[in-house]
Amino acid sequence: MTDVIIAGIGQTDVGEHWGIGLRDLAYAAVKDAIADSGGLQPQALFVGNMLAPNLSNQAHLGVLLADHCGMRGIEAVTVEAAGASGGAALRQGYLAVKSGLVDVALVVGVEKFTDQVGGGVDAAMATTSDSDFEAVQGLTASGQAALLMRRYMHEYGVPADGFAGFALTAHANGVGNPKAMFRKAIRVEAYAQAEMVSAPVNLFDAAPNADGAAAVVLTRSDLLPNGYPHALVKIAASAVSTDTLALHDRHDPLGFWAARESVEMARHRAGVTLDEIDFFEYHDAYSIYAALSLEAAGFAPRGEGWKLAAQGAIARGGRIPCATMGGLKARGFPGGATGLYQAVEAALQLRGQAGACQVSEARLGLIQSLGGPASTAVTHLLEKL
């Protein structure tokens, strides 16, 4: 079987990029990824984006970015799956190379939240939920997370500060990530005093929306240029699963079954156990998502995912390091680019290039992107060869 190698990686700072447009933001990541690959020339481009038609008044990103990045004429399409858009685009690039129909694929995720402000962003975000039965009632993503978090705390007796460990870990790890939006550690007192976004979700339980672009170049190992300077990182497995879009259609809203199924499929395809995984980049758009993702992946029993954070098990030296470069919470949530940032960060870990964020002797990393409350779940296993 063909090994799909992450040959090149590139990323921009995550933050508020008021002075740069969507196409130039994407180009910055693409340029660095191609240079990092040794100059490989893509035959296909897959773009992960969540909200450009709503926020940037721009659809048809595949051809826009192919043209702007000097690749006019190649196959180019946009992939949209809400917050999982970047992960879904990565899967399409993986499948293209794995099939043998494409030798070199470029995958880029890009989002520009600052193209609008205030209510325009909220309205755009609402389009990723069930419009007829959730958005029309005024239910926001934060409100949805709050419903899940309150139910979880009720069922499992979680104290008011029970989720603090997720924010503390993310911000501690973000200090060492030069691309992160927030690079300052926080104390538990700050978490306890934070204002509410949508009770019980407080300011430190919700990842900040941010601009950013990240890109990877995928190819086969036999096509790498002579003198390729990096440790080889392959995508050992890729899987995607879906659940209902609306929470009220699920028999068990706290189950995150799509997240569970995609992890199980990826592990089966790669032939690895949970104990072999060295770190987990979960989709911590909200602290409750992190807890439910840990449980869905099998790292904790139902109702005990929060304890892994409280006990330090997800810290860099813990049993299963998570959000190793800040996660969505400290790095920032760049919408449809999120899955590509996760891939870049995991590749840095496996290459041994993560600097102050390095997980010691990392050889196998699990990354997962979620669209909504695990309505879509895209999981990849990355392995150092």
- Residue 11's alpha-carbon distances to 190, 270, 345, in angstroms, are 30, 27, 9
Q: Domain for residue 132, yes or no?
A: no
339 within 8 A of 345, measured Cβ to Cβ: no
H/E stretch holding 130 reads: none
Contact between residue 48 and residue 340 where contact means Cβ atoms under 8 Å apart: yes
Domain count, the chain: 2
Same domain for 304 and 155, yes or no, is yes
Does 260 share its domain with 177? yes
Across the chain, mean pLDDT equals 97
Task: Name the residue type at position 260.
Answer: R
Count Cβ neighbours within 10 Å for each residue of 211-227 and write b for 16 or more, e otherwise: bbbbbbbbbbeeebeee
- Of 165, 197, 223, which residue constitutes the final position of a domain? 223
Distance CA 84, CA 377 (A): 7
Inform me whether the pLDDT recorded for 1 exceeds 80.
no
* Count of CB atoms situated within 10 Å of the CB of 157: 9
Residue 361, classified by CB atoms within 10 Å of its CB into exposed (0-12), middle (13-18) or buried (19+), is exposed
Give the percent of the chain with pLDDT over 90.
99
Domain boundary among 223, 247, 270: 223
pLDDT in tens, 73-90: 999 999 999 999 999 999
Letter for the amino acid at 54?
A: N
273 and 362 fall within a common domain: yes
* Farthest-apart Cα atoms in the chain, separation: 58
Terminal-to-terminal C-alpha distance of the chain = 15
Domain assignment present for residue 131? The answer is no
Contact predicate 188/164, CB 8 Å = yes
Question: Is the Cβ–Cβ distance between 292 and 254 less than 8 Å?
Answer: yes
Whether residues 88 and 186 share a domain: the answer is no
- Are 184 and 113 in the same domain? no
Let me know if residue 74 belongs to a domain: yes
Contact 339, 86 (CB under 8 A): yes
The 10s digit of each residue's pLDDT in 321-379 is 999 999 999 999 999 999 999 999 999 999 999 999 999 999 999 999 999 999 999 99
* Tokens 């992450």, residue located: 6
Residue 329 to residue 306: CA distance in whole angstroms: 16
How far apart (Å, rounded) are the C-alpha atoms in residues 109 and 214?
A: 5
Quick one: pLDDT at residue 2? 84
By residue count, the chain amounts to 385
Are 238 and 218 in contact by the 8 Å Cβ rule? The answer is no
148 and 249 housed in the same domain = yes
User: pTM score, two decimals?
Assistant: 0.98
Say if residue 219 is in the same domain as residue 165.
no
Residues 200 and 214 in one domain: no
pLDDT at 307 over 90: yes
Once rounded to an integer, what is the mean pLDDT over residues 43-63?
98
Residues 216 and 246 occupy one common structural domain: no
Q: How far apart are CA 357 and CA 176, in angstroms?
A: 5
Does any domain span residue 154? Answer: yes
**Is the pLDDT reported for residue 18 higher than 80?**
yes
Mean pLDDT of 24-52: 98
CA atoms of 369 and 376, how far apart (whole Å): 8
Amino acid at 34: I
Residue ending a domain, choose from 223, 247, 266? 223
Asked whether residue 263 carries a pLDDT value surpassing 80, the answer given is: yes
Residues of the chain with pLDDT > 70, as a percent, come to 100
Which pLDDT tens digit goes with each residue over 115-137?
Answer: 999 889 999 999 999 999 999 99
CA 19 to chain centre: 24
Domain identity same for 24 and 44: yes
In a domain, 374, yes or no: yes
Residue 163 lies in a domain: yes
Reported as type and span, the H/E element at residue 177 is none
| Residue 263 lies in domain | 138-208+237-384
Sign of CA dihedral 333, 335, 337, 338: positive
**Would you say 63 and 76 are in contact if contact means Cβ atoms under 8 Å apart?**
yes
Instruction: Using alpha carbons, list the distances in angstroms from residue 201 to 11, 126, 196, 372.
Output: 29, 18, 6, 16
d(CA 341, CA 83): 12
Looking at the structure, do residues 271 and 216 belong to the same domain, yes or no?
no
Helices (H), the chain: 22-36, 52-55, 61-68, 85-99, 119-126, 141-156, 164-174, 188-193, 257-270, 287-297, 305-310, 327-331, 338-351
Cis peptide bond upstream of 200, omega within 30: yes
- Write out pLDDT tens, residues 141-195: 999 999 999 999 999 999 999 999 999 999 999 999 999 999 999 999 999 999 9
Q: What is the mean pLDDT of residues 248-275?
A: 98
Residue 30 · residue 217 · CB < 8 Å: no
pLDDT, tens digit, 9 for 90 and up, residues 94-106 = 999 999 999 999 9
How far does CA 353 lie from the centroid of its chain?
19
In a domain, 130, yes or no: no
Q: In what order do the strands lie in the sheet with 212-219?
A: 75-79, 44-48, 105-111, 212-219, 5-11, 233-242, 376-384, 364-371, 279-281
Domain membership flag for residue 230: no
- CATH value at residue 80: 3.40.47.10
Examine the domain organization and report whether 40 and 171 are in the same domain. no
